[in-house]
Structure 1
Amino acid sequence: MPEKLLKKTACTLSPLGDSAIVITFGNGMEYSVHKKIKLLKDLLEEEPFSGFIECVPAYTNLTVFYDPLVIYKDQNISNGNETISPFEVVRSILEMKLQDLKEDKKLIHRTVTIPVCYGNEYGPDLEYVARYNDLTTDEVIHIHSTGEYLAYMIGFAPGFPFLGGLSGNIATPRRSSPRMTIPAGAVGIAGMQTGVYPISTPGGWQLIGQTPTKLFLPNVNPPSLLQAGDIVKFHPITDQEYKEMILKEGVQ
């Protein structure tokens, strides 16, 4: 089952195992690509086909998961002695939806503001980021906290947002040696991206601050505070404000 190029909305459709299809719209982190992914994701969730499970957005593609047994049962996939595979059925459905995709439709983005305590023990790499870019730490904080960031995807760890839109003035490569443990809430920079670690995990991003806001919410549906397509803003707070917010949330 080779990948197939669909010309109307430039993309390719290819199988991922026997229960998913990957629709690839581009090669880089671009808003135009994100828009197509988001429009198709919203359309599939508003008008799911029989057997649809979920769709997961990434930088350049949307992966659509389906139940092949439901497809066999609910779709008319038999044509004489020829049996059409669930992949072919779902690919045909997706092709029709892609042909009808209204690419001129304006996306509506939810804006989420996240408080951050920058520097010191909360951001051990802030000074390095400043030196790397020939800036002061205050300048790094100002640039980072006045930007607007688009959540292109959620992944790596539960609730981890990969945020595009970082100013090239503070872009900094990942650490050469990743840390074995990074605390939940750590705000980091990696290349032209910024993000927030929702749980304690190893990682190699340059840490510039920390937020008291919980991004991974296991008892909530969906369990991630942020979703692909959200606009994220960062708001500087003091050490005292950080500690008060932690106490308010009941975190020790």
Structure 2
Amino acid sequence: MRVKPAGSSAVLVCLDDPDQVTGLYRELQSAPPAGYVDAIPAAETVMVLFDPARTQAAAIAAWLESASSRAAGTHSADADRAAPLVTIPVRYDGPDLAEIASQTGLSIEEVVYRHTANEYVVAFCGFAPGFGYLTGLDPMLCLPRRTVPRTRIPARSVAIADRFASVYPSTSPGGWHLLGSTEAVMWDLRRQPPALLAPGARVRFEVAK
């Protein structure tokens, strides 16, 4: 773990992978240090904002070092069970389903089974409001992004790319592989909070009935 200054009221924590990001983010949410304001997780970093009138960057960095050790030394199963669970029903009829099966050497039924068998964790959000990057994807389904991205992907498309799964919250360009679609709304300004998926939340996909 490396902690770098980011202005007078924030530090940037550099980690090795999204699982470490999730562990540290959970520590910050469960027992934040004095002066803590907010945290913004990303793929391999966490931006930690603090109130300089109440604490200093050095104190935050020391707390983060200790928290990182606690997160690494504690099995995450209990923390996973304590996090909220979001279930997303999916119609597995995406335009890339057959290609995913071909690239992985699996049948379409096996692709669907592997996508629904695991429980995911929202590691961070980005790209578009409500777009959550979910870790926990079956290694057999880890495929690089499409060589040629699409110029238009419909909202609520369920997709995979690299080691992540996600759902497109709105119509946009994108290079992820499309497994299907869902009726679940990822981003709704009339809802509080607007995002269905927040960092740290658990997610399960299931075949829509």
Report the TM range for the smaller structure's normalisation: 0.7 to 0.9
Give the aligned CA root-mean-square deviation in angstroms. Answer: 2.3
Provide, for residues 107-136 of structure 1, a one-character-per-residue CA deviation record: whole Å limited to 9, x for no partner: 2222111000111xxx11111101111222
Q: Distance in 2 between matches of 1:145 and 1:99?
A: 36
Higher relative contact order (CA 8 A, sep 6+): 2
Gapped runs of 5+ residues in structure 1?
1-10, 76-88, 239-252
Q: Helix, strand or coil for the counterpart of 2:114?
A: helix
1:200 matched to 2:171? The reply is yes
Q: Distance in 1 between matches of 2:130 and 2:34?
A: 24
1:140 matched to 2:108? The reply is no
Q: Which residue matches 1:28?
A: 17
Alignment of 1:185-224 (within 5 A): 185-224=156-195
CA drift at 1:152 = 0.8
Q: 1:34 is matched by which residue type in structure 2?
A: T
Q: Helix, strand or coil for the counterpart of 1:163?
A: strand
CA drift at 1:96 = 4.5
Provide, for residues 173-219 of structure 1, a one-character-per-residue CA deviation record: whole Å limited to 9, x for no partner: 21111111111110111022211111111110000110100011223
CA drift at 1:18 = 4.6
CA drift at 1:33 = 4.7
1:111 matched to 2:101? The reply is no
State the identity %. Answer: 32
Q: Distance in 2 between matches of 1:210 and 1:90?
A: 46
1:63 matched to 2:47? The reply is yes
Q: Distance in 2 between matches of 1:159 and 1:90?
A: 32
Q: Distance in 2 between matches of 1:178 and 1:149?
A: 25
Q: Distance in 1 between matches of 2:110 and 2:123?
A: 26
Q: 2:17 is matched by which residue type in structure 1?
A: G
Contact 1:21 1:65 in 2 (8 A): yes
Provide, for residues 37-57 of structure 1, a one-character-per-residue CA deviation record: whole Å limited to 9, x for no partner: 32124333xx651xx542111
Q: Distance in 1 between matches of 2:64 and 2:141?
A: 38
Q: Which residue matches 1:94?
A: 60
1:182 matched to 2:166? The reply is no
Gapped runs of 5+ residues in structure 2?
none
Q: Distance in 2 between matches of 1:214 and 1:48?
A: 36
Q: Distance in 1 between matches of 2:21 and 2:48?
A: 16
CA drift at 1:95 = 3.0
Q: 1:58 is matched by which residue type in structure 2?
A: A
1:54 matched to 2:38? The reply is yes
Distance change >3 Å, CA 19–CA 221, structure 1 → 2: farther
